[in-house]
Amino acid sequence: MRLEEDVKLDFKDVLIRPKRSTLTSRSEVDLTRTFDFKSSGQSLATVPLIAANMDGVGTMAMARAFIAHKMLVALHKYYPTLELKGFFESLTPEEAPYVFYTMGIKERDVEQLDALLAVMDEGRIASICIDVANGYTERFVQFAGRVRARFPDKILMAGNVVTGEMVEELALAGVDIIKVGIGPGSVCTTRKMTGVGYPQLSAVIECADAAHGIGARICSDGGCQVPGDVAKAFGAGADFVMMGSMFAGHEEAEMERFTKNGKEYLKYYGSSSQEAMQKHHGGVAKYRASEGKSVEIEYKGPIENTLQDILGGLRSACTYVGAAHLRELPKRTTFIRVTQQLNPQYKD
């Protein structure tokens, strides 16, 4: 047993200290970043927000809305092969990199990808996301290396991990973007069920330091409840920010709406929840427990208004510290610690 006594922080534990700025308007802030990925050799100009690969979030309808903003979507894993074929074939070569094909590391995931590529030109898929809850297994790292070897020129994102040494190992295995986060999501119960996790702000700071030293990129995955959290994630050094709950409940969810007490709602649930495993795998396997929950989210309408709120909040954060470009935000960010009582927008 070993105890680390250093303080680790979540988004709710800090605020960004304002600094003098020469910017006169939020409109002067450029949120687009151009990334040159070392392992794949690809370049991508994007507003680096990603819709998570979850039911009701990582949908084809969401992808079409996000592409218009040069934002990214990781599709969920459960589309039929022919539906995926039709969707990827509908994308232009310029649009394709903004949509990640998502897979796990089981044999059935390889078979599903093979089935798709058997009926479609491989070049239609430009980006791949390997998504597992626990990125600390030797099998996961080896699998990421195999995918890189098979697809040397595709943008590869994989995770999740929360420590610098695993970021470095995945980067050396050929991963372009390492997903960072264990347990911070609003419908994830991993921390309660297993006692395992890492406060998200500290995870991002430490993993960004490890990644950037060897030319890799990280994606902060989970924990954003309000637009200010997105700004904090970028300020902490995240290259990309992936969100689920903030993008859930919209028209693009491709999920059935239901009426309750005169209002419309949609279901939103974690990928390891009992509801998700019942829907996609016939139930929770006997050797494991559910590590997610299901919630009802009031229908929010089209995603466009929410995107404007998030992008507007991010631009405003940049003006408060004088960052004319999003890439400058980490250099201009100083965090100050606060008590949770000073951040009443957060809820347990």
Q: Would you name the residues annotated as active-site residues?
A: 188
Q: For residue 192, count other CB atoms closer than 10 A to its CB.
A: 11
Q: For residue 241, what is the DSSP state?
A: E
- Rounded to 5°, the CA angle 323-16-229 comes to 95
Helix (H, G, I), strand (E, B) or coil at 203: helix
Sequence-distant (≥ 6) Cβ neighbours of residue 125 within 8 angstroms: 88, 96, 101, 116, 117, 154
Distances (CA, A) of 296 to 249, 261, 276: 8, 13, 14
CA distance 246 to 117: 32
> Exposed, middle or buried: residue 283 (CB in 10 Å: 0-12, 13-18, 19+)?
exposed
The interaxial angle of helices 200-212 and 164-172, nearest 10 deg, is 40
